[in-house]
Structure 1
Amino acid sequence: MKSEAWIFAICTVFLVLVTPAYWFVTSASDHGGDWTGTSALVMTTLLVAMVTLYLGFHARKMDPRPEDRKDAEIVEGAGELGFFPPYSWWPLWCALTLAVCVLGIAAGAWWMFIIGSVLGAIALSGWVFEYYRGEHAH
């Protein structure tokens, strides 16, 4: 996890440098600066810093993974990487119900938004519990 922490640390440093520069460049204009963009950059900097701290703390506590060690062999990274589900229809139904909700808002038809929300809750529940077949089963 040290490599991921370093990547986010570099992004944090970049954003710490860019945010005041952006504020300075936009405040030089006649309009008094772009507070929306500056606020977004500040929040992005804080969020990236939060991820950096999280990964940094956990990298210290856990044993180094093979990809974190310079003397690691390729065979040490072998094995099962996780569970990857096969083909699923649930993302399609979630996307379609989201489209119905957005169309309902855009058209001003709140009844369409409500129908999309109810069907979306059903589709999202189906996607979340797709592989649930009992207590802690896949």
Structure 2
Amino acid sequence: MKVEARIFEILAMFFVVMGIIYAICTFFYRTGVEWTGAVCMFFAGGLALIAGTYFRFVARRVEIRPEDYEDAEVEDGAGELGFFSPHSYWPIMIAGAAALFAVGFASANLWFAIALVFVIIGSVAGLVFEYHVGPEKH
């Protein structure tokens, strides 16, 4: 996880530095600083810093992986990577409900959008608890 943390921290620094350069370069243009782009750059840096901080925090709790060694070989990472659900329909339901929510919200059909918020929450709950109920329960 240290590699991922380092990547996101470098991205955060890049976006902040580019935001400063962008603000300085647009300041000397005709209309002054173009704040939308500068703020977006700083927000992108903040989001990358959030992800990097999360990975740095998780790296302390997770055992060292082959990716964290400088001299690791490809075959060091061989083996089982985890469990992935082969037959789950919940992600499709979440995506469909989110798409319909966006259409309802964009068309100002607020009752439809509000109803779909509950469908999204129910679908996410179904995905999270998929293997805690029913015949798949272990």
TM-score normalised to structure 2 length: 0.73
Q: What's 1:5 paired with?
A: 5
> How far 1:84 sits from its partner (Å)?
1.1
CA RMSD of aligned residues (A): 2.9
Alignment of 1:73-88 (within 5 A): 76-88=76-88
- For residue 111 of structure 1, give the secondary structure of its aligned residue in structure 2: helix
Seq. identity, %: 38
Distance 1:126 1:5, change over 3 A: closer
> How far 1:63 sits from its partner (Å)?
5.9
2:10 paired with 1:26: no
Q: How many residues get paired?
A: 136
> How far 1:31 sits from its partner (Å)?
2.0
> How far 1:64 sits from its partner (Å)?
4.0
State the AA in 2 paired with 1:117.
V
State the AA in 2 paired with 1:127.
L
Q: What's 2:126 paired with?
A: 126
- For residue 96 of structure 2, give the secondary structure of its aligned residue in structure 1: helix
Q: What's 1:112 paired with?
A: 112
Distance 1:109 1:2, change over 3 A: closer
State the AA in 2 paired with 1:84.
F
State the AA in 2 paired with 1:26.
T
> How far 1:35 sits from its partner (Å)?
1.1
Q: What's 1:99 paired with?
A: 99
CA distance in 1, matches of 2:13, 2:34: 21
Task: Identify unmatched segments of 5+ residues in structure 2.
Answer: none
Distance 1:86 1:61, change over 3 A: closer
Distance 1:82 1:13, change over 3 A: same
CA distance in 2, matches of 1:9, 1:2: 10
Asked which structure has the greater CA Rg, the reply is 1
> How far 1:133 sits from its partner (Å)?
3.2
> How far 1:22 sits from its partner (Å)?
0.5
Q: What's 2:68 paired with?
A: 68
> How far 1:58 sits from its partner (Å)?
6.0
CA distance in 1, matches of 2:22, 2:125: 43
State the AA in 1 paired with 2:123.
A
- For residue 103 of structure 2, give the secondary structure of its aligned residue in structure 1: helix
